């Protein structure tokens, strides 16, 4: 099974379905985020699930524990393979998120967004060391009982060393010479996998390609 989850960041359900159907033999799952969910809601997720690939629901919950727990309970019928919360929501929120999720759903905690760098950490009053930030939040996530974390390919090795059986989601991956866009901590798919990623999230390098099927196939061939 391919470790690639294609991020279908579009409000257009028909476009999302069309891309998913084109790339389905070269990806292991479909990631749906806020842009898709705000436009298409639960009905849209059900339609995407009908394509037959695992669904990663990337809504990055971050609120008080009661609110996050209830929100995840409300999503239980969607039975996603993976869902995200922010590690910075704290231990109680992570515990309630895991308790509310369906048994088979992997709950993963976003540590430091891949669109941020050291200077962004400093600007929000945190120690400007991405490794330190990721490893600290990975330890919180592990001890709170969630299944894994989201981090960049630059930190996944350190996080993996500290949490051998964790589930590591790595976005911000780009083929060699790929356009980073708003991503700041970027590695190639091969490097992320070698460093310990469990799954790779790839969006625009596939969805914005003239031929998404070919783009997914070329990325898969590097793995």
Ligand X SMILES: O=c1ccn([C@@H]2O[C@H](COP(=O)(O)O)[C@@H](O)[C@H]2O)c(=O)[nH]1
Query: For residue 130, how many C-alpha atoms fall within 13 Å in the half-sphere facing its CB?
Result: 21
Count of residues in contact with ligand X, rule CB under 6 A: 16
Which residue in the shown chain puts its C-beta closest to ligand X? 203
Residue 83 CB neighbour total at 10 angstroms: 24
Residue 80 near residue 57, CB atoms below 8 Å: yes
Least distance (Å) between residue 79 CB and ligand X? 20
150 lies in the binding site for ligand X (CB under 6 A): yes
Residue 210 CB neighbour total at 10 angstroms: 6
Residue 64 marked as a ligand binder: yes
Residue 164 marked as a ligand binder: no
Least distance (Å) between residue 42 CB and ligand X? 19
- Please, which residue, 10 or 105, has the CB nearer to ligand X? 10
171 lies in the binding site for ligand X (CB under 6 A): yes
The residue from 12, 63, 120, 194 that is catalytic is 63
183 lies in the binding site for ligand X (CB under 6 A): yes
Least distance (Å) between residue 58 CB and ligand X? 6
Q: How far apart are CA 223 and CA 203, in angstroms?
A: 17
Residue 221 CB neighbour total at 10 angstroms: 8
Q: Residue 152: which of 166, 124, 131 has the closest Cα?
A: 131
58 part of the active site: yes
120 part of the active site: no
Task: Give the DSSP letter string of 130-168.
Answer: HHHHHHHHHHHHHHHT-SEEE--TTTHHHHHHH-TT-EE
- Please, which residue, 93 or 108, has the CB nearer to ligand X? 108
Residue 8 CB neighbour total at 10 angstroms: 24
Least distance (Å) between residue 29 CB and ligand X? 13
Residue 11 near residue 38, CB atoms below 8 Å: yes
- Please, which residue, 66 or 123, has the CB nearer to ligand X? 123
The residue from 12, 60, 117, 213 that is catalytic is 60
114 lies in the binding site for ligand X (CB under 6 A): yes
Binding residues vs ligand X (CB under 6 A): 7, 9, 33, 58, 110, 113-114, 150, 171-172, 181, 183, 201-204
Binding site per annotation, positions for substrate: 9, 31, 58-67, 114, 174, 183, 203-204
């Amino acid at each position: 099974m391919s470790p690639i989850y294609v991020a279908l960041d579009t409000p257009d359900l028909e476009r999302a379905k069309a891309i998913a159907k084109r790339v389905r033999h070269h990806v292991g799952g479909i990631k749906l985020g806020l842009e898709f969910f705000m436009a298409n809601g639960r009905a849209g997720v059900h339609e995407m699930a009908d394509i037959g690939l695992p669904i990663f629901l990337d809504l990055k919950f971050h609120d008080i524990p009661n609110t996050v727990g209830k929100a995840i309970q409300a999503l239980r019928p969607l039975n996603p393979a993976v869902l995200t919360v922010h590690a910075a929501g704290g231990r109680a929120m992570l515990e309630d998120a895991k308790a509310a999720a369906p048994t088979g759903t992997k709950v993963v905690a976003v540590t430091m967004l891949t669109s941020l760098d050291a200077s962004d950490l400093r600007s929000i009053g945190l120690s400007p060391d991405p490794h330190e930030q990721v490893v600290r939040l990975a330890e919180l996530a592990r001890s709170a009982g969630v299944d894994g974390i989201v981090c960049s390919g630059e930190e996944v090795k350190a996080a993996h060393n500290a949490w051998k059986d964790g589930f590591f989601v790595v976005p911000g991956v780009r083929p060699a010479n790929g356009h980073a866009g708003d991503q700041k901590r970027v590695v190639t798919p091969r490097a992320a996998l070698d460093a310990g990623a469990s799954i790779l999230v790839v969006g625009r390098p596939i969805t914005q390609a003239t031929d998404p099927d070919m783009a997914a196939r070329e990325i898969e061939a590097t793995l």
